[in-house]
A and B are shown apart, each in its own frame.
Chain A
Amino acid sequence: MTLRLVAGVLLSATLAVAGIGRARAEKVPTTPQLAQVIEAAKAEGKISLRSTETVFGGAEGAARAMDAVNRTFGTALTVEWTPGPAYGPLAALLYQEFQAGQKSSTDVYVTTAVQITPYLDKGLFRAVDWATLMPSRVTPAMVEAEGRALRFQTATPGVLYNVKAAPWVAELASTADLLKPQYKGKFYTTPFLAGFDVLLADDVWGAQKTEDYVRRFSQQLAGLAGCEATNRIASGEIPALAFDCSGGAGNRVQFRGKGVFANRILPDMAQKREDYLAIPTNAPHPNAATLYALYMMTDEGQQELVYDIFGGDLYNFTDSHVRSEVDALAAKGVHFVDVTIDWWRSHPGLDAANAALARLVRDK
């Protein structure tokens, strides 16, 4: 009897959750242009996605996204997700496929200003009139590179740390604190020096100051770890990562509210780094890809895929979590460098300079 009762309650709860999920399918106003894209996507029938496991939750995230896209736009698309390389190598592969006249191995490329900028003038990505397709959510300010890149998330990198293994991070007031003797050997950084590329700009720190800092910083390091090492930070193997790529790990649904992570934004290197979605010119399913990208811009997409999986969302939306965090710090006088494609284009040579700088941290 008790078992039946428990089973009944569980079943009811499951159905209720499922019902809530369906009820939350967001109604998107269908413009004539969007209707054309939806029809074309239906004809394509599927979407191919390729990324690292950390981007949009890998296969599980892709399946969730496609279910949501189908509910939102009334399509019946299937998704084929394949593990792939990181942003930089994937861009190089996409460009080689483009040059060779092959179809691209992904319909949607998730990236940042650093990786996409070198390919914007080479015809690798198609221009899309995003604001016309979904004027209710997409404003011209969210669209960059003449429609070739659509902002979907704003990252705020800081020192990502395990609150139990590295409580000292909460006391850090500036980057200079990381050079104190008591912190030697207690934190890691990324092999490509995430966050330092912006500091190299003359209107931020400049090359000399950044290099001087990195030389001393390198001596403090315990080692190197990628931004995908969140599980290793959670386990305490890596107590702190200075600096993380996104700053949102603690907000991800599996860690949220559990007191595992915190992200410490240091005022003297505060950055708002935009993340983008782009569709390769030779994408096999460009219309399905367009719907996928548009879904990420919906209220539901921002909450259930971008925020739950990445731990961030887009600053441009007034109800953005990142916006409230950034504005709160800005009110205290913290200045954020807004790293957009235009900003990156106006500071040429930073990626090469940062690659040279990264050689300093590979040596012990």
Chain B
Amino acid sequence: MTALAAENLVLRRRGFLLFDPVSAVMVALAILATGAILILLAVVLWLSFTEGTPGDPALSYSLEHYRAMFLDGFTYRVVGNTVLFSAVTLVAAFLLALPMAWLMERTDFPGKPVVFTLMTTALLIPGFAVALGWVFLLHPKIGIINQALVALLGLDEAPVDIANVFAMGVVEGLNLTPLAFIMTAVVLRSMDPALEEAASVGGARPWQAVLRVTARVLWPGLLAAAIYVGTIGFAAFDVPAILGLTRRIFTFSTYVYWVLTPSEGAPEYGNVASLSVLMAMIAAGFSWCYRQAQRQAPKYAVVTGKAYQPRMAALGRARMPAVCFVVAYFTLAQLLPLVMLGWASLLPYLQTPSAAAFASITLRNFQNMPQALLWRAGRNTAILMLVVPTLTLGASLAISWVVLRTRARLRGLLDFLAFLPLAVPAIVFSVAALLLALFVLRGVAPIYGTIWILIIVYCVARLSYGTRMTNGALIQIHRELEESAQVCGAGTGGVMGRVLVPMLAPSLLYAWIWIALLTYRELTLPVVIATSGNLPFAYLVWGFVQASAYGSASAAALIMLALMAPILLLYWLAARRAGMIRRVEPAGPRS
């Protein structure tokens, strides 16, 4: 190390860096992104004090919404339902995702590319389809299993009822398993298996190595994934809406939606905003927990400049049970909803399989699909899927870099703000963006009715996901790699371009794909801000769902899936090239 390089390194570590354009851009990007969150949250906060419709001269201010919220026992019931629902969701998702991630990342499980591809496809299946599938199986009136049990056992009533918080949580858990899987797989992939091998050499049995070494090393990443998935469960909408709403089981998201989209009268923005402020405060608690976990992060950096090559364990006799487990998951969580989608798309209205139902099969739902509307929606969706993940990940990387690699005083605040969008219902951000676009930005940046308003809100809504992914990936990369580059004279741009981005590439590609897919299937966010000029495909499907036109909704969802097939193929090829989908490697000791 030259004296100059060493001095440079010391200066960088102390934060006394001379002007560095790349650093300045990163900081500016981070501030811009979190500033957008802050502005939208400020609008939500403002709304929570308003009485009446924004834009109306008669709008007034009061604390009435807060008073009503805290004095209404129903609020606590909704929060209780939501906590229970998200807890069950979390447990169900990780019970399935953890073993599957371990099988894919640490064993010689056969057909990994197929599993990875199917996992990616899983996120494409709309949540409402999964929920509908279970309605058709276990609804007390029309569920096939219930009807069969009633007929076989001579019962007066259906023995199983799916409309309860626990069942809703399990179904949502099935929905979120791919997300939990992907986040867990990334963490597992980043861990050097030499630690597990050392445990084995020390006499630990495999399960002891998993519990005492793997789990402990992975816990910051797993905690991040758990917080993220749990918070998504907190805000989940489609499963509670289809399984719970009709039976008066409200979670936070369905309650917000119920208040925000009344069939009579104007939406009660103030009520919704006050509820959102409450949820944002809970999210702040989650964010604080996450920060505490992150402070321990350097201890768990396991990707270093030293040799790193994962090894695959041989499954041996456990191979068949493992395959059965994975097949059972895909059957329940993916095949079943797809079959139900296909069935529903062929019927004029939903019917359980019967001679009459088969006689009424028709392609009318496909034939009557509005082609011009499909084209508009498809074009907008394609733009969103390309732009949103790119912008979101750029901003996320900037935020994570500032948070984890600088000593900026406000880095904690940036991370805190980046997490908040997860807990604030997307639809509330949409309301805030709508009001901003209509009443504040109209003279400066007329984005109302354009694709840009959707891009901004989608990016804000996805920043929490993006930053969790980039945080998790950055945590795993030891600073010694960057310091080595700096010692060799690289500036921030060089470190980013030659060290961090190449090492982060698999994680970034993963995150890009998932943000694109989340963007593709987002249902509630466009409800308020979509217009004829910017409506995305999922909103079209949701329009059918709202109208209980399940046949049309299913047909549109299947068309969506078909349109996505080429893109999925591209994803798959890109992922394989980037090493995200590994070829099966022979089991045995690491060379």
Contacts and interface: CB of A to CB of B under 8 A. Distances in A.
B531 interface: yes
A234 B349 contact: yes
Given A102-B442, A231-B548, A238-B246, A355 B265 contact: yes
A89 B248 contact: no
B247 A60 contact: no
A215 interface: no
Nearest to A239: B141
B531 A92 contact: no
Given A89-B266, A99-B56, A224-B246, A80 B532 contact: yes
A228 B438 contact: no
Interface stretch (A4-12, A129-137, A190-198, A295-303): A190-198
Given A96-B55, A99-B55, A115-B264, A223 B551 contact: no
B309 interface: no
27 contacts: A53-B544, A54-B547, A58-B547, A59-B370, A80-B372, A82-B531, A83-B535, A83-B539, A84-B543, A88-B262, A88-B264, A89-B261, A96-B53, A99-B439, A114-B264, A114-B265, A118-B266, A192-B265, A223-B163, A223-B246, A231-B548, A232-B548, A235-B142, A235-B349, A235-B351, A354-B264, A355-B264
Contacts of B348: 254
A188 B246 CA distance: 8
Contact of A83 (B74, B163, B543): B543
Interface residues on A, range: 35 or more
Contacts of A235: 142, 349-352
B373 A53 contact: no
B128 interface: no
A53 B373 CA distance: 13
A227 interface: yes
B21 interface: no
Interface in B547-581: 547-552
Given A63-B370, A191-B258, A86 B349 contact: no
Contacts of B543: 52-53, 58, 83-84
Nearest to A49: B532
Contacts of A191: 258, 262-263
A101 B258 contact: no
Interface string A244-271: 0100000000100000000000000000
A316 B425 CA distance: 45
Contact of B250 (A95, A351, A362): A362
Nearest to B77: A363
Given A50-B532, A232-B350, A60 B267 contact: no
Nearest to B547: A53
B433 to A, nearest CB: 12
Contacts of A205: none
A81 B370 contact: yes
B472 to A, nearest CB: 37
Contact of B141 (A50, A63, A165): A165
Interface in A40-91: 48, 50, 52-54, 58-60, 63, 80-89, 91
Nearest to B527: A85
A87 B55 contact: no
A100 interface: yes
Given A53-B549, A231-B548, A239-B141, A102 B438 contact: yes
Given A59-B373, A100-B439, A234-B349, A197 B245 contact: no
Contacts of B74: 359, 362-363
Interface in B240-264: 245-248, 250, 258, 260-264
Interface in B359-393: 368, 370, 372-373
User: Counting chain A CB atoms within 10 Å of each CB, which of B266, B267, B439 scores highest?
Assistant: B266
Interface string B416-438: 00000000000000000011001
A159 interface: no
Contacts of B552: 53
B434 A96 contact: yes
Given A86-B262, A224-B248, A237 B142 contact: yes
B263 A190 contact: yes
A225 interface: yes
Interface residues of B, number: 58
Contacts of B352: 235
Interface in B302-357: 348-352
A105 interface: yes
B258 A60 contact: no
B493 interface: no
A192 B56 contact: no
Contacts of B351: 235
A28 interface: no
A64 B49 CA distance: 45
A100 B350 contact: no
**Chain A contact surface mostly:** mixed
A147 interface: no
Contacts of B535: 82-83
Nearest to B545: A53
A124 to B, nearest CB: 11
What 7 pairs between A and B have smallest CB-CB spacing? A83-B543, A53-B547, A59-B370, A99-B55, A100-B438, A235-B350, A92-B266
A82 B374 CA distance: 11
Interface in A186-234: 188, 190-192, 194, 197, 221-232, 234
B540 interface: yes
A101 B549 contact: no
Given A59-B370, A96-B53, A99-B56, A88 B263 contact: yes
A28 B530 CA distance: 37
Contact of B546 (A52, A80, A101, A223): A52
A364 B248 contact: yes
Given A53-B544, A190-B263, A231 B349 contact: yes
B532 A105 contact: yes
Contacts of A188: 246
A97 interface: yes
Contacts of A254: 348-349
Contacts of A63: 370
Interface string B127-142: 0000000010001011
A359 B135 CA distance: 26
B262 A236 contact: no
A88 B261 CA distance: 8
Given A192-B264, A224-B245, 15 more contacts: A81-B373, A83-B535, A83-B546, A87-B263, A88-B262, A89-B267, A92-B266, A92-B267, A95-B53, A100-B55, A102-B449, A115-B265, A122-B56, A223-B246, A355-B265
A88 B435 CA distance: 17
Nearest to B78: A362
Given A82-B532, A223-B247, A89 B448 contact: no
B139 A237 contact: yes
A86 B261 contact: yes
B548 A228 contact: yes
A48 B532 contact: yes
A60 B551 CA distance: 14
A115 B250 CA distance: 26
Nearest to B532: A82
Given A82-B532, A99-B55, A88 B547 contact: no
A26 to B, nearest CB: 24
A234 B439 contact: no
Contacts of A228: 546-548
A39 B548 CA distance: 39
A191 to B, nearest CB: 6
Contacts of A361: 248
B54 interface: yes
Interface string B46-65: 00000001111000000000
A93 B438 CA distance: 10
A351 to B, nearest CB: 5
Contacts of B542: 83
B138 to A, nearest CB: 12
Contacts of B248: 221, 223-224, 361-364
A14 B535 CA distance: 35
